[in-house]
Amino acid sequence: MSEFLDHIRGELAAIEAEGMTKRERLISGPQGAHVDMEGRRMLNLCANNYLGLADHPDLIAAARGALETGGFGMASVRFICGTQDLHRALEARLAQFLGHDDSILFAACFDANGGLFEPLLGPEDAVISDSLNHASIIDGIRLCKAKRFRYANSDMADLEAQLVAARVAGARFIMIATDGVFSMDGYLAKLPEIRALADAYGAVLMVDDCHATGFMGPQGRGTPAHFGVRADVITGTLGKALGGALGGYIAGPQAVIDLLRQRARPYLFSNALPPAIVAAGLAALDLVEAADGLRAQLFENAAYWRAGLEAAGFEVLPGEHPIIPVMLGEARLAQDMAAELGKRGVHVAGFFFPVVPKGRARIRTQMNAALTREDLDFGLAAFKDAGHAVGVL
């Protein structure tokens, strides 16, 4: 045991020496545009709280109501005695919202992606994955026996080459897997081109829309709706724009959902979501459908913030999404910049390897609808100051 622990301590020391230790800051009180963090009120520019619903009174009331009527926990997986009417209501509501036959809930989208591939694809099949897909898609694909192919991020020539390779390898069925929005860059997947290639090669298209559902596309129905194309299977989360608590789902054709209910391991062998979360998910979808005003505010904030950072001289990745990364290069610099911003009352996190490639460290800022113009001006002033302090401006 002591040799083992020495080895583990060595790993930790190596992470620290490379400036890659992730430190968690303590928030007291709810998630929001401002948070109380270790005794200070901070402007918060790094939550996935795109529509600002994480502390919405309707969601709190729905959750509280369900605690009273449905109890605290289910103490069971779904198929033993963990399915309430509420679970089926949310699955039906999500399916209707996303325009699919049915959906199935998981404890998180990490589990949805982890459980999706293995029941649907066997060794005769192939899965083709974008190189920047979320870790949970990568893990889910590792767990299935299909042949694996990978294409360079959003490189359509490479995707086509991989489709050809999968066909040459004799694949029975091919699934293309992509994030709808790549979470480290805020880039949108090229869904119209991907759909066309999927159709040309007879492939099934799976889209993880965690960073889009609720605010991209008409009524927030996500990237497929934004582009006016169809995804065959969608995965998503309740942990971001839809209230920000937790819970994941897969939506798709009835037969796919039915088979996942029989075979998806994170569904079969993990607890049912608690009633409060499920009821709040239903309330979140009602809010989201009617949230054109919040969506307009979100994208207005994103455009203002992006323009302000660019005018200040920061290198910002191009795009339209409320994920707006400020590129800094080395991990240490991203850490220093985040610390300088912290001193100035702005909470952001540095992102570095292994979350993004080495040398591509950044501060990923994220806009939300609850931020005011005053907040953004305060944030921009802090970024300029901090940029001078660390020498990037």
Ligand X SMILES: Cc1ncc(COP(=O)(O)O)c(C=O)c1O
- Report the candidate in 253, 195, 199 with the shortest Cα–Cα distance to residue 224: 195
Q: Is 286 within 8 Å of 51 (Cβ atoms)?
A: no
Q: Which is nearer to ligand X, 234 or 382 (CB)?
A: 234
Residues that bind ligand X (CB under 6 A): 108-110, 113, 134, 136, 179, 183, 208, 210-211, 237, 239, 248
Q: In the complex, what is the shortest distance from the CB of residue 17 to ligand X, in angstroms, rounded to a whole number?
A: 27
Query: Of these residues, 211, 321, 347, 384, which one is catalytic?
Result: 211
Query: Known catalytic residue: 211?
Result: yes
Q: In the complex, what is the shortest distance from the CB of residue 114 to ligand X, in angstroms, rounded to a whole number?
A: 9
Q: 3-state SS of the chain?
A: CHHHHHHHHHHHHHHHHCCCCCCCCCEECCCCCEEEECCEEEEECCCCCCCCCCCCHHHHHHHHHHHHHHCCCCCCEHHHHHCCHHHHHHHHHHHHHHCCCEEEEECCHHHHHHHHHHHHCCCCCEEEEECCCCHHHHHHHHCCCCEEEEECCCCHHHHHHHHHHHHHCCCCCEEEEEECEECCCCEECCHHHHHHHHHHCCCEEEEECCCCCCCCCHHHCCHHHHHCCCCCEEEEECCCCCCCCCCEEEEECHHHHHHHHHHCHHHHCCECCCHHHHHHHHHHHHHHHCCHHHHHHHHHHHHHHHHHHHHHCCCECCCCCCEEEEEEECHHHHHHHHHHHHHCCEECCEECCCCCCCCCEEEEEECCCCCCHHHHHHHHHHHHHHHHHHCCC
Q: In the complex, what is the shortest distance from the CB of residue 186 to ligand X, in angstroms, rounded to a whole number?
A: 11
Q: In the complex, what is the shortest distance from the CB of residue 130 to ligand X, in angstroms, rounded to a whole number?
A: 11
Q: In the complex, what is the shortest distance from the CB of residue 184 to ligand X, in angstroms, rounded to a whole number?
A: 9
Q: Which is nearer to ligand X, 84 or 136 (CB)?
A: 136
Query: Known catalytic residue: 183?
Result: yes
Q: Which is nearer to ligand X, 208 or 340 (CB)?
A: 208
Q: Which is nearer to ligand X, 131 or 254 (CB)?
A: 131
How many residues belong to the chain? 393
Q: Which is nearer to ligand X, 183 or 297 (CB)?
A: 183
Q: In the complex, what is the shortest distance from the CB of residue 321 to ligand X, in angstroms, rounded to a whole number?
A: 12
Query: Of these residues, 134, 183, 226, 384, which one is catalytic?
Result: 183
Query: Of these residues, 56, 87, 100, 240, which one is catalytic?
Result: 240
Q: In the complex, what is the shortest distance from the CB of residue 352 to ligand X, in angstroms, rounded to a whole number?
A: 16
* Residue labelled with tokens 């870790």: 135
Q: Which is nearer to ligand X, 90 or 210 (CB)?
A: 210
Q: Catalytic residues, which ones?
A: 183, 211, 240
